[in-house]
Structure 1
Amino acid sequence: MDLIKFFKFGLVGFSGLLIDFSITWFCKEKLLLNKYLSNSFGFLFGVVNNYFLNKYFTFHNTDNHLATQFLSFLIISIIGFLLNTSFLYLLQKNTKINFYVCKAIVTIIVFVWNFTANSLYTFKL
């Protein structure tokens, strides 16, 4: 594994995390949307950010098949999202841990999935 790429992936992920949490918070607390719907909106904004930053910053990828590559990234992200939402639901249902703490825990778990899958498939290390 390339530790520099892993670190850069983490930095990009952190920027996406800030976007994700900000959008989730805004939708849940200000727009009073359902917490899982809010989580979905946060996820979508974070994915777009992460794709472009990872393509150009992390992996220095020059593949011109942008739509195909984004679709791959999106599919991997959707799988990550399903893992994220499922784990978030299970933690919330079975513990008394704060929603945002649960979200942070789940984010760390799904980070490993996202890096591995995108490294091996979307951006082929």
Structure 2
Amino acid sequence: MTTTTAPKPSLVQRLRGMSGEVVKFGIVGLSGVVVNFLVFWVCINGLGLASLRSNVAATLVAIATNYLGYRYWLYRDRDAASRKREITLFLVFSGAGMLIETGVLACSVYVLGLDTHIEQIAAKLVGLAVGTVFRFVSYRTWVFKALPEPAEPAEVVAEAELLLASEERQFAK
């Protein structure tokens, strides 16, 4: 009895398969960006906070809203067996993304001297872009793990036949 395994999909096929996920990730992320920028703007202009404090506050609020979107819309079909682990990893990788974003903003303000509100918004956009790529890779790889795909019926039958054949050899001895 021979078993065949399906060939691994090419990189192009895998990227095509990810396109829907990327679009949904973008929608959730865009809503988080809107929340992030609104809170950032309010903190700077309404509350008079410094840019880095405003960025941290805005990013923390956006992280909370994004988790809800990712867990209950984008990755709702993913393994949710260990929510404590998932939330911990989400917060760790989101925090790392926030450090990336805040680092770009800090470099812009304190190293390059770009401290007008428009320059800060531009630096925040660059930091968000870099942080978003990092978050996408880390969330899909470690936080919201895919459930194992169910075995094809033919594969299950082939495995069962192999198991039975090996048992028959044992009894024949």
Q: TM-score if structure 2 supplies the norm length?
A: 0.67
Mapping for residues 1-125 of structure 1, pairs under 5 Å: 1=15, 2-60=18-76, 61-92=78-109, 93-94=111-112, 96=114, 98-125=119-146
- Gapped runs of 5+ residues in structure 1? none
Distance of 1:42 and 1:110 partners within structure 2: 14
Task: Give, in whole Å, the separation in 2 of the partners of 1:72 and 1:6.
Answer: 20
After TM superposition, the structure 1 stretch with the greater mean CA deviation from structure 2, 58-67 or 108-117, is: 58-67
CA contact (8 A) 2:63 2:94 kept: yes
Instruction: Using the TM superposition, give the Cα deviation of residue 66 of structure 1 relative to its aligned residue in structure 2, in angstroms.
Output: 2.4
**Separation (CA, whole Å) in 2 of partners of 1:104 and 1:98:** 10
Q: How far apart are the structure 2 equivalents of 1:31 and 1:109? A: 27
Structure with max Cα Rg: 2
How many residue pairs match? The answer is 125
TM-score by length of 1: 0.92
Q: Distance in 1 between matches of 2:113 and 2:20?
A: 36
| Aligned residue type for 2:64 | V
Amino acid at match of 1:94: L
Q: Where does the alignment leave 5 or more consecutive residues of structure 2 unmatched?
A: 1-14, 147-173
Higher percent of residues as helix: 1
Q: Map Cα deviations across residues 2-59 of structure 1 (whole Å, 9 max, x no partner).
A: 1111111111011011111111111111100111111111011100111110112111
What's the CA shift for 1:91? 2.4
